[in-house]
Structure 1
Amino acid sequence: MLKTDLPQLTAYRTTLAEAGKKLFLSWVLYSLGIVVAVILSYYLIPVPASGIMVALLLLLALFIPAIRNRLRPLWVQGVAKRAFAQQNSMLYLESSKPNYKKHFQPAVAKLGFFERNEQIVKGELGGLPFEMYAHTFRQLFARRYGRKVIQVYSVKLPKELPHIFMRNRQAGSKHLSSLPRHFDDDQRVSLEGNFDTFFTVYTHRRTITEALSLLSPNVMEALVRSNTKFDIEIIGTRLYLYSDNYLTTAHELDEALRSLINVAETFEHRLKSWRFVLPNNQHYPYLVSRPGFGTVALGHTYFNQAWLLIIWYTLYSALKITAKPELWPVKVGLVIFFDALMITVLLVLRRRYQLSKRNVGR
């Protein structure tokens, strides 16, 4: 039986409000500093457009890490989490690079570039090892500029479980899902009752039987009752809850911790009479994401056409080089470089596509 005592949130609530006021004041002072600097430079520096130049320099100061971190809204949450960790005798870390085991990478891993776990709090929740952090990353062609943030809440379960991902579909959620992660449809499992209206469940082909036995009707009912707007993932001995809130209020943190401990308690009751055993010499069967549009297009659909394009480019370049033999050393080097680059990209995308389809049936 898990301990149902939740961590105290008094320090988090008060510190969040105070840090929010400090952030607002910092932006006001920074804006006033820009205005004053522009006015003074206009009168003191006898250079045309000097005010604009000074304003641009001050705006570029936002790219200095110390200033940028102090002025971004996520700083407020970091201050509040530090106070939360101190009040509940937990460990607080400012940031660290994600470090997951090869076959036990959660769904937040490798979602983009420059990944980082920030504002990490480690301790115990309900008697289980607990960890929460903000997973930040950047994505190409994202609608919103800046680092995308996924709030992660995790506990370590006493037994190893199959890889199961439950995507939240409740109408009351802000979004249908917290993660920009898409799994192959042939890993999707349909469960009895109306559970599919609340969650879309994914598991590996080889663990469908285990997943169905684990997600009994009582467990499904408890999951629907205890979880409102979080995606749930089980991988190995770890239970994860995901939220896409950029900033977490005290009420949202309380809701997340309650949901996490309720879901963990639900599975702990089930684990008393349940065991997951892998056959000898078999890797842990993990879920595989659906390959992206570029991987499918160049690695599969238009793979042959891309090869023909490379061949056509090489022949066309060869004809141009023969027309001007005096430039052939430079031109040949450029053609070889671009050919090697395009062939490498094409083969990498082909390999990624093949691995994504092959791993589904592992």
Structure 2
Amino acid sequence: MTRSSVLDVRALRARPRRAELRAFWARFREEHPRVRDPERRGRRIVLAFNVVGLTVVELGLLVTLANEVGRGRGDQVPPIVAIASLMFVVLVMCASLLWRNERRRTRPRTHWALAHFAQDNELVYTPGPRSGTMRAWWSITGHTVARAMTRRNADGRTVEWADYEIRNATRRFTYPPVGGWIAIGLRRTLPHIVVRATGRGTRAFSVSAVPDSAQRLSLEGDFDQYFDLYCPEGYEADALYLFTPDVMARAIDDAGGWDIEIVDDLLLLVHPRDVVTTDPARWDEVMRTADAFVTRLEQWERWREDQLRDDPDGGAARYDAAEVAPGGRRLRTSWGLAAWVSFGAVAAVFVGLLVAAMTSR
């Protein structure tokens, strides 16, 4: 299978009988013990308890506020309003986390559909959760893989579609906390290049890092309307060799909403939406996107490190053509505006609670 047009999607649309689903689920749990996801279940219980408890506290504060206003005791109103406001912020945060946790649950029927879909299309389905093993991300942050599909092409190249969740984001992580990726193996390491989609309206609210603006490279034509390309300083010509106009035109057609990253020996396409789903239209999209880039990789793999690069110990050094000089292996990144706003909001909650507690004494 090399084209998305030959996908057999009957399993994604099927509705198994209850007895068949029960038998499958019992067998599937034995083969994949972690599929019950006790960690997510524990988070769900804790978050639900917090939401209920905070709701009760919030209602109590509102009743207290109404009573104080009715008695004409205006001196007690400001601290009560402050505490109620901060509690409401925490309540909203817990409720959103609970909703996200619940939305990403994989139910037995979904596992059944994905397992049969993989079998019908010569894919390998790996249910989660499992700790992420992507080297390029492991050095940046801890991440969990919820679901994964793997295909080995006729040329031996491995392609993986997976849904991820970030546990501990750091200043070097440039993606939304949840989403999906397409990971395509390369036969050699390449310079670190990130191509970020500009049309994603939710990016401003995503608590993630951003590449330093000094590394941004302007593209020819109108490609800057669709993507921002970042490459290490001194690798501008290399980035233009890899992301030629025909590659960028294909990226607009087939990866308009994806971030594209070359890191080490991987090509990553990352999206804030899940990739491994039971939606046939979504599978047509992600398969087509992967196939569009697989055809370009042989040209990319002919890249060679043939220039003098700055040596970490001073001066310049010539590196072997099969490796990437240290300066080209990782982009510089920093926290984005949304991250600083989030940090400030958390700090304000703690400070506000402390001030309100001291005022109410």
- TM-score of the two chains, using structure 1 as the length reference: 0.54
- Residue 288 of structure 1 is matched in structure 2 by 332
Listed one character per residue, the Cα deviations across residues 27-82 of structure 1 (whole Å, up to 9, x for unaligned) are xxxxxxxxxxxxxxxxxxxxxxxxxxxxx99x76x9xxxxx999755314544332
Which of residues 224, 229, 243 in structure 2 aligns to 1:201?
229
Q: 2:190 touches 2:303 (CA, 8 Å); kept in 1?
A: no
| Alignment match, 1:165 | 194
Specify which of 91, 105, 112 is matched with residue 137 of structure 2: 105
Amino acid at match of 2:7: Q
For the residues of structure 2 that align with 1:78 and 1:238, how far apart are their CA atoms?
A: 27
Deviation at 1:224, TM superposition (A): 2.0
State the distance in 2 between where 1:265 and 1:194 align. 23
Aligned partner of 2:113 in structure 1 is: 80
2:285 aligned counterpart, secondary structure:
helix
Is 1:118–1:133's contact at 8 Å kept on the other side of the alignment? yes
Task: Name the structure 2 match of 1:132.
Answer: 161
Per-residue Cα deviation, 1:197-247 (whole angstroms, up to 9, x for no partner): 010111111322211222222222222233232111111221111111247
Aligned residue for 1:105, secondary structure, equals: helix
Instruction: Return the TM-score normalized by structure 2.
Output: 0.54
**Counterpart of 1:86 in 2: which secondary structure?**
helix
Measure the CA separation in 1 of the matches of 2:217 and 2:197. Answer: 14
> Aligned equivalents of 1:72 and 1:213: distance in 2?
41
Q: Note the C-alpha offset of 1:91.
A: 2.4
Matched residue type, 2:292: N
In the TM superposition, residue 168 of structure 1 has moved relative to its aligned partner by 0.9
Deviations 1:313-339 (A, max 9, x none): xxxxxxxxxxxxxxxxxxxxxxxxxxx
Change (3 A) 1:277 1:148: same
Q: Which moves more between the two structures, 147-156 or 159-168? A: 147-156
Q: Which structure has the larger Rg?
A: 1
Select the structure with the greater relative contact order (CA < 8 A; seq sep ≥ 6): 2
Q: 1:122 aligns with which of 150, 153, 178?
A: 150
Mapping for residues 1-362 of structure 1, pairs under 5 Å:
3-4=2-3, 8-15=7-14, 72-76=103-107, 77-95=110-128, 96-101=130-135, 104-105=136-137, 109-110=140-141, 115-125=143-153, 127=155, 128-138=157-167, 148-170=177-199, 175=202, 180-246=208-274, 248=277, 249-268=279-298, 270-271=299-300, 274-276=303-305, 279-280=318-319, 282-283=325-326, 285-291=329-335
The 1:241–1:208 alpha-carbon spacing in structure 2 relative to 1, beyond 3 Å, is same
1:134–1:150 contact (8 Å) kept in structure 2: yes
User: Are 2:132 and 2:138, in contact at CA under 8 Å, matched by a contact in 1?
Assistant: no
Q: Which runs of 5 or more structure 1 residues have no equivalent in the other structure?
A: 23-55, 63-67, 141-146, 298-362
Instruction: Check whether the contact 2:149–2:160 (CA below 8 A) recurs between aligned residues.
Output: yes
Asked if structure 1 preserves the Cα contact closer than 8 Å seen for 2:143 and 2:168, the reply is no
**How many residues were matched structurally?**
239
Cα 1:106–1:4 shift into 2, 3 Å: farther
Q: Would the aligned equivalents of 2:118 and 2:124 in 1 still touch at CA under 8 Å?
A: yes
